[in-house]
Amino acid sequence: MHKLIALISAFISLHAYGQKNEYVPNIKAGYTSVNSELGSKSLEIGYYHCSDGFTASSGPSATLVALFNEHNKVRFGPKIGYELQVYCLAGKVDISYVHPYLNLTPAAGLSVFGWASAYIGYNVCFTDSKMSGFYTGIFLNMNMGSRPAFNLDLKLSDKSKAHTTNFYASRIGN
């Protein structure tokens, strides 16, 4: 476990070396399904405010959920959460209230550099255990700013250039 944490820390450090994270507002849209006794499907639209670097992003999200039950009756409610994406890995935790259900949903999955994500997790319903079950979700993040990953004008600072030059010079014996 310690090696995994060290590896993830190294990736996060590498992505941040020589560049500046930017806060990028995103509109997110998604489809989710909970495989429970009651079964549910939902559409979501919301806001994801992320600190976005070249290969990692993280931040809070707020979403409006439209929950469809087995009789195609629609209920609306809020959802708040926190999301993290590093390279192609993604994780999030959400809490939502769609009357009468209060849910906590941790999930992990795959991401396409924060643009699209697919999750699997477990929905824990505090108000009705029949609503608890495995969760799947697919989301698109439509950014409202420019993402550094697609900005080809990134430049290392003079301090970073000096450090990089000294590192390579020490490796070849200069």
Q: Structural domain boundaries of the chain?
A: 20-163
For residues 49-87, one letter each, b for 16 or more C-beta atoms within 10 angstroms of the residue's C-beta and e for the rest, the string is ebebbbbbbbbebebebebeeeeeeeeebebebebbbbb
CB 132 within 8 A of CB 102: no
CA angle centred on 111, ends 110 and 117, rounded to 5°: 90
Query: Where on the phi/psi map is residue 152: left (φ > 0), alpha (ψ -120 to 50), or beta?
Result: alpha
Angle at 21 between CA 80 and CA 154, to 5 degrees: 140
* Residue 161, H or E segment: helix 158-171
Q: What is the CATH number of domain 20-163?
A: 2.40.160
pLDDT in tens, the chain (174 residues): 666 665 555 555 544 444 455 777 889 999 999 998 888 899 999 998 877 665 778 889 999 999 997 777 899 999 999 998 888 899 999 999 998 999 999 999 998 877 889 999 999 999 998 889 999 999 998 876 654 444 444 444 545 444 444 443 444 444
* Nearest-angstrom CA–CA distance, 11 and 8: 5
- Residue 168 has a pLDDT of 39
Whole-structure pTM value: 0.68
| Residue 43 burial (C-beta neighbours within 10 Å; 0-12, 13-18, 19+) | middle
